[in-house]
Amino acid sequence: DVVMTQTPVSLSLAIGQPASISCKSSQSLVHSDGKTYLSWILQRPGQSPKRLIYLVSKLDSGVPDRFSGSGSETEFTLKISRVEAEDLGVYYCWQATHFPQLTFGSGTKLEIK
Amino acid sequence: QVQLQQSGAELAKPGSSVKISCKASGYTFTSYDISWIKQTTGQGLEYIGYINTGSGGTYYNEKFKGKATLTVDKSSSTAFMQLSSLTPEDTAVYYCARGLLGFAYWGQGTLVTVSS
């Protein structure tokens, strides 16, 4: 299976600070169709996951543009330009390129100082 | 709006089975497959498999073969997952999600607790 490694494990940031989360895959996530099926989800405390970004950099409807995704092949990054209180929770990356062997990262917990 | 409404929490004894439901609304049920994901504190998020809501065809992650059984009832736009021969290691929150590659929509999760 493709292993997804996220760093850091946790982040503690003040409101207004930028955030950056790294996600590295053990294999290239470029599919034979040319697309890269790398997504980011946020799980707020007590809630189910919500997708923020898909295909590396496409924002889901309603997701603030302070969120951005980038990367290629095996290295990907989620950035928040200015953290807000509602951004706290656990962020996960996951890949569907190697469907049906879908795998998730272990998560990055964002805390607000 | 798209919604996936899951059934409530379950408390089950070791060796028993439970059946979780995931009722879809806000879209044409048979246009999207339903996937299932397990979440535990120790193992994080694990992909269980999916069911084609039109044909009933299924795929199971090797780890969950023999553990999970996925079915659908098209008449009620509901997907089901039965977990059998439960052990404490099956204690987790189980999510349904719409689709195969995108998971744009998730259910609210169903907590299954296995304890004697």
Can the peptide bond before residue A45 be classed as cis, meaning omega within 30 degrees of 0?
no
Mean pLDDT, residues B28-57 taken together: 95
pLDDT digits (tens, 9 = 90+) for A30-79: 999 999 999 999 999 999 999 999 999 999 999 999 999 999 999 999 99
A94 vs B95: CB contact, 8 Å cut-off? no
Single-letter amino acid code for the residue at B115: S
pLDDT on residue B102 = 87
Residues paired with A76 in a beta bridge: A23, A71
Q: Which band of pLDDT confidence, cut at 50, 70 and 90, is reported for residue B42?
A: confident
Chosen for mutation from B4, B6, B45 (greatest number of chain A CBs closer than 10 Å) is: B45
- B95 contacts chain A (CB < 8 A): yes
A92 vs B45: CB contact, 8 Å cut-off? yes
pLDDT at B1 over 90: yes
Mean pLDDT, residues A85-105 taken together: 96
- CA distances B92 to A60, A98, B2, B43, B115, Å, are 27, 25, 25, 10, 12
